[in-house]
Amino acid sequence: MDWKTAVNSFVEVFANLDFRNGPLFYVVGIVAAGYCCLEGYRIYKMLLGIMGFALGFRVGFLIFGSLGFSNEVLLMMETFMGLILCVVSYRIFLAGIFIAVFQFASSNLPVYVEALLQNRVKYSFLVTGVVVTIISGLLAFAIAKLSVSMTRTVLVCLTAVVGGFAVVNFLVDLIPVFPYEVTLPEPSSPIWLFLKIGLSAAGVGIQDVKDSPGLV
């Protein structure tokens, strides 16, 4: 096997790799999310860049995946889109806030929007993935647009909420990885939402009493 074949094989495997097969991914995620929740304001530029990359990578997958690209070409385009939004988020402060808030909101709103519609919409066939995605996207856009009018408050809340929500999400995904049966509430259960809100509120409170660098 020559070096070019080896590189192509690695790219093909990496492009389709599922990092979530083992518990280490979730444990590292819980630790990183916990730090973000409690100390995130100190690394806000890094967080904005990461969330910009995540949104760009996600957009790249949606666009170029639907166009039929695969393997190394798809990975290259996903990474390219991710790097563009990463740089924009890191270098342009207000754009970074908008992108980070939109990425977080659009990733977390669908499960709650779907649960809300199921209880209130008369015709269940209207509660489809496309409808939920559109409503979630519009709400995320409105929240992100509102967020650019604030600085420190948004960053403290954003880092605490992102960290708090991520801790719970990683914990929920970690438990089934272990080889024993555990019955968990549904992802849209109020139990998880209350836990996420509680951790986020604790993060806001802890960050708010500290001297945070960078912005006032």
Neighbours of 93 (CB within 10 A): 17
Q: Report the pLDDT value the prediction gives residue 1, as an integer from 0 to 100.
A: 47
Question: Which residue do the tokens 């809300």 mark?
Answer: 116
Q: Report the pLDDT value the prediction gives residue 17, as an integer from 0 to 100.
A: 46
Q: What CA–CA distances, in Å, run from 45 to 49, 89, 146, 193, 204?
A: 6, 8, 19, 27, 17
Q: Which tens digit of pLDDT belongs to each residue from 71-80? A: 778 888 888 8
Q: Report the pLDDT value the prediction gives residue 125, as an integer from 0 to 100.
A: 60
Q: Which tens digit of pLDDT belongs to each residue from 159-173? A: 888 889 889 888 888
Residue 214 has pLDDT above 80, yes or no: no
Residue 100 token pair: 């980070």
Sorted by where each begins, the domain ranges of the chain are 22-207
Question: Which residue do the tokens 């083992």 mark?
Answer: 22
Helix 129-147 to helix 93-120 angle, to the nearest 10 degrees?
A: 140
Which is it for the CA torsion 130, 141, 38, 199, positive or negative? negative
Q: How confident is the model at residue 14 (pLDDT cuts 50, 70, 90)?
A: very low
Please tell me whether residue 71 adopts helix, strand or coil conformation: helix
